[in-house]
Amino acid sequence: MFSSERDRQVPDVQLKRLLEIPAQAAESVLSIVGIRVGTEEPHYVGTKLTDEVELRRYGPRIAAETTVTADEDRARHIGFRRLAGYIFGGNHREQTIAMTAPVSQQSREKIAMTAPVAQAGDGEHSTIRFYMPSKWTLDTLPTPDDDAVRLVTVPGETVAVLRFSGDRSAPAVAARTEQLSETLRTNGIETVGPAQSWFYDPPWTVPFRRRNEIAIPVRPPA
């Protein structure tokens, strides 16, 4: 006899996780070549700005985010592990939340404070985000076990997006960010926020099949 309702639920939870293993293994194999099976992406309305750049309008979204102080590549690795821990059961309900795409990274250099208090800063910190499936709200999402993980509402925004494949190291991201910034300057588009890096595929996806994007918030053209 089970001693409580929670005890009765444990075998069902364990069985469900066992049944999910074959599907997860198949998805991992497909992800090697950039095939994302059933992965939800935030809805947007897009228009072409140039052959390479698209303007997208996103509505409000819910995200789990964490801030990491490290260089961009290491921050992405640490942040991904923290957030993956949350969606794979590291929450007060031990509930699994579906993975979505993209994973967002926004990096900023620390800026020294001015007088009367001066503080030097020469490192970087990055905010890594997992967007939550659209069925969830802040009220229904389980609370993270890790205090470094926050649940936030990302306001609706218009962003200019440059898509690329292959290398997504910090130098590659910086070069693509400058390319997008130059395109926006040439077309008279005003930026209203810092650049974000969006990654749709895991590290083991073959480089030429990866979907990577640079997104910069902009003021919508008249």
The domain made up of 62-154 is a member of CATH 3.50.50.60: no
**Contact (CB, 8 A) for 191 and 184:** yes
Read off the tokens for 118.
Answer: 């001066």
In whole angstroms, give the CA distance from residue 39 to residue 202.
12
Contact 105, 75 (CB under 8 A): yes
pLDDT band at 103 (very low <50, low <70, confident <90, very high): very high
Domain edges within the chain: 40-60+155-222, 62-154
Report cis status (omega within 30 of 0) of the bond before 116: yes
pLDDT of residue 10: 44
On whether the CB atoms of residues 74 and 13 are closer than 8 A, the answer is no
The span from the CA of 13 to the CA of 15, in Å, is 5
In 3-state terms, what secondary structure has residue 6?
helix
Identity of the amino acid at 36:
R
Determine the pLDDT at residue 38. 64
Position 19 pLDDT exceeds 60:
no
Quickly state the pLDDT bin for 209 (edges 50, 70, 90). Answer: confident
Separation of CA 94 from chain center: 21
Least trusted range by pLDDT, from 77-86, 138-147, 203-212: 203-212
Q: Taking residues 8-29, what's their average pLDDT?
A: 44
Band (pLDDT 50/70/90 cuts) for residue 201 is confident
